Structure 1
Amino acid sequence: MTLSFRFRLFADDSCSPVTTDVTSSPSWKEIETVLTPCRSADDSVDSGIGSSVKLSIKLPSRKRCLSRTFIARKSLFSGKRPADADEAQSPLKKKSKSDDVITEAPSTDDIITAVERLESHDLIADGSRGYTLPTIPGKHSDLKSISADTMAEVLNGVYSDRLHKVTIVDCRYPYEFEGGHIRGAVNMYTRDAVNSLLETQTTAGKRHVLIFHCEFSSERGPRMYRHLRSQDRALNQDHYPKLNFPEVYLLHGGYKAFYESHGDLCDPDSYTPMLHLDHCADLRHFRVKSKTWTAGSEKVSSRRHRSRIFPSGLDL
């Protein structure tokens, strides 16, 4: 068809578009039919054709073009921007992003049965068995506490035939930990550090026991104990009462009480109080970093109460 058009247009000077007006010629009408956008030509909108002939080449409308452009961009940039590598995330958030299979949650009857079993027997938090270590009444009735003597027996291997692994979680600030800690303890004074425990692999049937404490086991240790249990429950909400760490204890009296009776099991054999005069700057730094003083609006009333007891507003 192209050769035919050129032949009829430029075979002689009489058909040349330069020397004559070809808009009324049959050849021009044929070209116009092929090339002009699919609508009636209109001089008022500068169509360039000046004819009302319907065209055979249909060009997409502007609305349709924009729609295709949007779809193309969406396909290219549909992936979410990854979060910063150093952004701390709880195990619960990581689990919700990685889960591909939706499991059926336990029924209400199953939950009620599990709760009744836990309340009627002195069992660990998943109801699977009794506690390995002897417990004592403590300041925190919702937590299981052990004495300093029981802690010493654990370190001396008295329960090694019944416990697969024991992790002693020291929730004091680093300068306190470095100034003396229970042998083999790990220093975890932030929620993110405690969350990392839930990322470790636990072996079914193997007893991995956690023992929390701080200086007096009054505030920081119990708070981290409760935080771990809350995260553990949320992580296993579809399998209640299953837990990663069902057997957790609080060291009654904290490091101070343990050091006073079993200093030989501390490394080094010393005790650095949180309020030590040589560590005032460290206290300010780690108190802010750990966010123990501003760890949620629900703590406002308790902070005010403590501020009346401790004028400096220190969190023990």
Structure 2
Amino acid sequence: MAPNRSHSCPGPMPTLEVYVPLLPLIKSSKLPDLNVISPATVQMLLDGSFNDVLHGFHFIDCRFDHEFVGGTLQGAKSLMLPQDVEAEFFHPKAYLTSKRTALILFCEYSAQRAPKMYRFSPPPPSMTTLDRARHIRNLDRRLHADKYPTLHYPELYVIDGGYKHCFESHQGVCAPPASYVAMDHPDHVEACKKALSGLRSSWKKLRTPSKASPKWC
């Protein structure tokens, strides 16, 4: 008897919803993998231009304490360590509105600290230890490992040029009185060294495998 070679037709393949950021993006050759917004969009956020599409937004200042005290954006939260961000935003109460809440990160230039806090996933072992860390996106992906591409915080952004760019081009977005203190300001050398050491230590702890599965809720 000839073998039965008939096959049942599979059902339609599920389609993944295409994510479209709610805020207007700009192209960044330095950060091509991130959602980057301009200082002008920061001004529009503060003016309420996106109140109809967002439940709310948070400016996350990833700079060191002496920089934050020396000037920041209106309403910004000083969260320079990864565990600070996790404690602030990764808990059940925050999840109630997280889908439409924008997390907007920045550092002095948005070149190192803010992008590091943002990035999508842990890099391969071949990359340098400086870049091997878990970030907001990676944590969110881990929490939804069986529900890709679901995220608690799909609206995640970095400000182009960081606080320095905002201060120079749109001082109205800065908390009054608008001011700016650089990370390497000569009056804060020791504070900078201490903060940098603490930041490196925090990322190093995240790179160290834990025997127990973390509880993020």
Q: Secondary structure at the match of 1:201?
A: helix
State how many pairs are aligned.
176
2:151 is the alignment partner of 1:243: yes
Task: Quote the sequence identity (%).
Answer: 37
Partner of 1:26: none
2:173 is the alignment partner of 1:282: no
The Cα of 1:239 is off from its aligned counterpart by 1.6
Partner of 1:233: 141
Distance 2:172 2:45 in 1: 14
Partner of 2:182: 273
Q: Which runs of structure 2 are paired with 1:3-22 in the superposition (5 Å)?
A: none
Q: Is the 8 A contact 1:287 1:293 kept in 2?
A: no
The Cα of 1:150 is off from its aligned counterpart by 0.7
Distance 1:155 1:137 in 2: 22
User: Higher helix share goes to which structure?
Assistant: 1
Distance 1:154 1:221 in 2: 19
**In the superposition, relative to structure 1, how do residues 288 and 240 fare at CA in structure 2: closer, same or farther (>3 Å)?**
same
Partner of 2:165: 257
**In the superposition, relative to structure 1, how do residues 184 and 294 fare at CA in structure 2: closer, same or farther (>3 Å)?**
closer
Distance 1:292 1:177 in 2: 20
After superposition, give the CA deviation of every residue in 1:136-180 in whole Å (9 maximum; x if it has no partner). 111211101001101111011111122111011110001100100
2:109 is the alignment partner of 1:216: yes
Larger Rg: 1
The Cα of 1:203 is off from its aligned counterpart by 2.4
**In the superposition, relative to structure 1, how do residues 233 and 294 fare at CA in structure 2: closer, same or farther (>3 Å)?**
closer
Partner of 1:194: 85
The Cα of 1:242 is off from its aligned counterpart by 1.1
Partner of 1:131: 21
Distance 1:215 1:180 in 2: 11
Partner of 1:11: none
Q: Is the 8 A contact 2:61 2:105 kept in 1?
A: yes
Distance 2:60 2:203 in 1: 22
- Candidates 141, 145, 150, aligned match of 2:41: 150
Distance 1:273 1:144 in 2: 24
Supply the AA of the counterpart residue of 1:134.
P
**In the superposition, relative to structure 1, how do residues 292 and 158 fare at CA in structure 2: closer, same or farther (>3 Å)?**
farther
After superposition, give the CA deviation of every residue in 1:108-162 in whole Å (9 maximum; x if it has no partner). x76xx53xx54xxxx2xxxxxx221110111211101001101111011111122
After superposition, give the CA deviation of every residue in 1:168-204 in whole Å (9 maximum; x if it has no partner). 1110001100100000110111110121211252226
CA-atom RMSD in angstroms: 2.3
The Cα of 1:263 is off from its aligned counterpart by 1.4
Which runs of no fewer than 5 residues in structure 1 stay unpaired?
Answer: 1-108, 124-129, 299-316
2:70 is the alignment partner of 1:179: yes
Distance 1:294 1:204 in 2: 28
Q: Is the 8 A contact 2:36 2:157 kept in 1?
A: yes
Q: Is the 8 A contact 2:55 2:97 kept in 1?
A: no
The Cα of 1:255 is off from its aligned counterpart by 0.3
Q: Of the two structures, which has the highest relative contact order with CA contacts closer than 8 Å and spacing of 6 or more?
A: 2
Distance 1:137 1:236 in 2: 28
Supply the AA of the counterpart residue of 1:157.
G
